[in-house]
Amino acid sequence: MDANTKRNSILILETILVFIGISGLAIALFNAPISGTFRGVLYVPLLLFQGLWFYRFYIVGHEASHRKLFVNHRFLNDLLGSLILLPILVPINVYRKIHMFHHGFNRKDDHTSVLDTFTTRNLTPLKRTYYYALWYLSVFCGGFFLHSLVSVLLFLFVPPRLAPKISPAFHGWSLGEQMKAIALFGLGVGFHGLVFYLFGKTTYLLVLGFPMLSFAWVLSLLVYIFHYDTTVGDGVRYNVRSVERVPFFSWVLLNFNEHATHHQHPNIPWYELPRKRKPLPEAYARRNQNTYNFFKAITNQLKGPRIVYEEDTKKVGTD
């Protein structure tokens, strides 16, 4: 067994076993003979960890979308990647299509793959309020999860010949890939339904239902911290930041903090990112590395969105 296969086989096993363990813990806590208040005090951090662990599913899927999960076994890569993504209802081929577009066009201009920017020809106080409200709802109230869900549903049900008119990410999306995505999404829904049918409503909510809500919040909070308020322009590999390692989060999120390295060298597997760290070019680092603190990168998003006028020259490179 090669090193990559061995390392990621352990990763898959760990991911599944921890999921089973925290699911059992949630059920045991619900059935424990303790007061409701004390149960709630214990359950809130557990639910937050469940949401983080569902984000682990998302990042294992990220490795599979890059075909790094099992480099020498493409079928196994997609099979196990698809299974890990079942709880969060994401077909791996949809994930791959959206994510590859992100890598190829990340913050290329004010309209392309840039989530924190709103463009307008006439900025009124009402419009500014709307933009800020939409941004805060997206980041702090689960809005980016809904955005991702809508993106998945579009890939599933919009006719492939019409899809590129909605988003350039759809270019090359075929009917065969769409049928595969619908089947994988159906398997995810079937997994949720099977847990509900076999174990009942309460167990379903503790194992999948409530953790999905927690995941929606966690994903929305974290998904853009490595790109928020970074450069916009043709240097798409450099419109990004890294943050310092926090051992717990680096374990859960598979060294995702090394995000600048990942964008410059997407083929580096998660376990080699710290050793192969690649700093940004100086001009980009000066602009984008305005914080190395993981928690500051989250709270920085409180500053709100970036608003630009349509007639403005697009920002490029190291603006």
Task: Give residue 199's pLDDT.
Answer: 96
Render the burial of 223-260: b for 16+ CB within 10 Å, e for the rest: bbbbbbbbbbbebbbbbbbbbebeeebbebbbbbbbbb
Q: What is the pLDDT of residue 165?
A: 86
Q: Token digits for 184?
A: 């994988």
pLDDT tens-digit series, residues 9-42 = 999 999 999 999 999 999 999 999 988 888 889 9
Give the Cα separation of 180 and 59 in Å (integer). 21
pLDDT at residue 316 in the model: 40
pLDDT at 75: 95
Beta bridge partners of 120: 309
Residues 6 or more apart whose Cβ sits within 8 Å of residue 5:
70, 71, 72, 73
Q: What is the pLDDT of residue 312?
A: 55
Residue type, 313: T
pTM of the predicted model as reported, rounded to 2 decimal places: 0.93
- Which residues of the chain, if any, have pLDDT below 50? 313-319
Instruction: Give the domain ranges of the chain.
Output: 92-309
- Taking a C-beta distance cutoff of 8 angstroms, is the pair 210, 44 a contact? no
> Residue 146: exposed, middle, or buried by beta-carbon count in 10 A (0-12, 13-18, 19+)?
middle
- Give the per-residue pLDDT at 317: 39
CA distance 230 to 116: 10
CA–centroid distance for 63 within its chain: 12
| Residue of 174, 132, 167 whose CA lies nearest to 150 | 167
DSSP state, residue 207: I
Longest CA span, the chain: 64
Token output for 160:
């492939």
Q: Is 232 in contact with 110 (CB distance < 8 Å)?
A: yes
Alpha carbon distance 217, 45 (integer Å) = 14
Residue 96's pLDDT is what?
95
**What's the pLDDT score for residue 37?**
87
Cα separation, 249 vs 247, in Å, equals: 6
Strand partners, 278: none
Q: Which two tokens stand for residue 187?
A: 């398997």
Measured CA to CA, the distance from residue 28 to residue 96 in angstroms comes to 37
